[in-house]
Amino acid sequence: MRAGLLVIVGLLSLALVGAPAALADVGSFAPVSPESPNADAIRTSYLFVTIFVVAIFVLVEALLVAFIVRYRRGRRARYEDGAPIHGATKLELAWTAGPVLVLFLIAAFVFIELPGITDVPSAATGKQELEIRVTGRQFYWQFEYPNGVIAIDQMRAPAGVPVRLEVTAPETDVIHSWWIPALGGKVDAIPGIVNETWFQADAPGVYNGQCAELCGVEHARMLASVVVQPEAEFGAWLERSRAEQTAGSAELGKETWEGVCSKCHGLYGEGGIARRIAGSPTLGNAAALETLVRNGRVTRRGVMPAVGAGWTSEQIEALVTYLQQSPPTGQPPEESDGS
């Protein structure tokens, strides 16, 4: 019994000693450093709840050790009953009312913070809220701006401006989940349903995330990033991108190739789950390529989803232009000599 007590006390001591170190390394213990007000509210709520969790854990374990020591068998025979102990009414009331109070405090705090997580703040004077449509597909993110600009996997946004995101997925796709930890919580992209979230990043920088819903064999490669730029720089990019995409620039085609096609195929099959497409006549046939990406294909090797269902004609044209004018390059994998 004494040896067991020593082990319990030792483990509890280690937990108490290690707790400050774990709390100090918040990069692994808590949500990442927030860069948006809603992300800050999520982190604050998390830490508030954690205080109660740690306090209750320490209290329960301390009482457990105290009771083990206080009511140990000692010299009493193994099969002899211990002395009868009368219940403590005040103590029983305390451990019933205590958890109710803790739950009430947590619920009240979360509901106080909830508007700051879900409600988009009003834009500052002279600025307008920016709306971006976020579409999750197997296995990429597509972003559509109000002026028609399309981007793949990498979103750009202005610093200091509220950005409202309409998150969805095509009805023929599966559920995905939009998540940039530094800019807010997870929001599901559900086929045929539009969910909303927002962020407002004041500091320019690159904020990374990925799909947070297991969506298929290439789920791990469904990454996303948000590039926050000074407002003037973002406005110049938006106007330039619109002009280029209207003129049939290959830049969007390159983004589409790298974000959509190469993830599964790769030019020489290095995508890992689909056949090599180097030398395929479809790459040089605009009509055949459009039919393939819009409708998909069923073969003996499996099913290619309609990755381009709903794409604009500009996006199709951009992909064709890129493949014809600046085709992707690469080296075929080395063949095994069988030795």
The DSSP result for 215-227, as a single string, is -STTGGG-EEEEE
Q: How many CA atoms lie within 13 A of 202 on its CB side?
A: 9
* CA neighbor of 174 nearest in space, from 222, 225, 226, 224: 222
Query: Long-range CB contacts (< 8 A, 24+ apart) of 58-64?
Result: 58/16, 61/12, 61/15, 62/12, 64/8
* pLDDT tens-digit map of 56-76: 999 999 989 998 888 887 778
pLDDT of residue 160: 92
Edge-to-edge strand list for the sheet holding 140-144 = 150-152, 140-144, 130-137, 163-168, 195-199
Lowest-pLDDT range, 42-56, 179-193, 228-242, 312-326? Answer: 312-326
Q: Which CATH class is domain 130-245?
A: mainly beta
Helix, strand or coil, per DSSP, at residue 188: strand
Instruction: Let me know: does 33 contact 182? Beta carbons within 8 Å.
Output: yes
pLDDT of residue 124: 61
* pLDDT tens-digit map of 143-161: 999 999 999 999 999 999 9
Burial annotation 10-45 (CB, 10 A radius, 16+ → b, else e): eebeeeeeeeeeeeeeeeeeebbebbbbbbbbbbbb
* pLDDT tens-digit map of 20-50: 554 444 446 778 899 999 999 999 999 999 9
Instruction: Give me 99's structure tokens.
Output: 């958890």
Mean pLDDT over 235-262 rounds to 90
pLDDT of residue 338: 44
Mean pLDDT over 201-205 rounds to 94
Task: Provide the residue ranges of all domains of the chain, joining segments of one domain with +.
Answer: 2-73+94-118, 130-245, 250-325
Q: Is the pLDDT at 13 greater than 70, yes or no?
A: no
Helix, strand or coil, per DSSP, at residue 166: strand
Distance (Å, whole) CA 223 – CA 180: 10
Mean pLDDT over 302-318 rounds to 86
State the pTM of this model.
0.79
Q: Which CATH class is domain 250-325?
A: mainly alpha
- The 10 Å Cβ neighbour count of residue 308 is 22
Give percent of the chain with pLDDT exceeding 70. 87
Instruction: Give me 254's structure tokens.
Output: 């390159």
Residue by residue, DSSP assigns 81-100 as PPPP----HHHHHHHHHHHH
Share the mean pLDDT of the chain.
Answer: 85
pLDDT of residue 336: 39
The angle subtended at Cα 137 by Cα 302 and Cα 150, nearest 5°, is 130
* pLDDT tens-digit map of 267-308: 777 777 777 787 788 877 888 888 988 888 887 777 888 888
164 bridge partner residues:
131, 198
* pLDDT tens-digit map of 75-132: 788 888 877 777 788 888 988 898 899 999 999 998 898 888 888 877 665 668 899 9
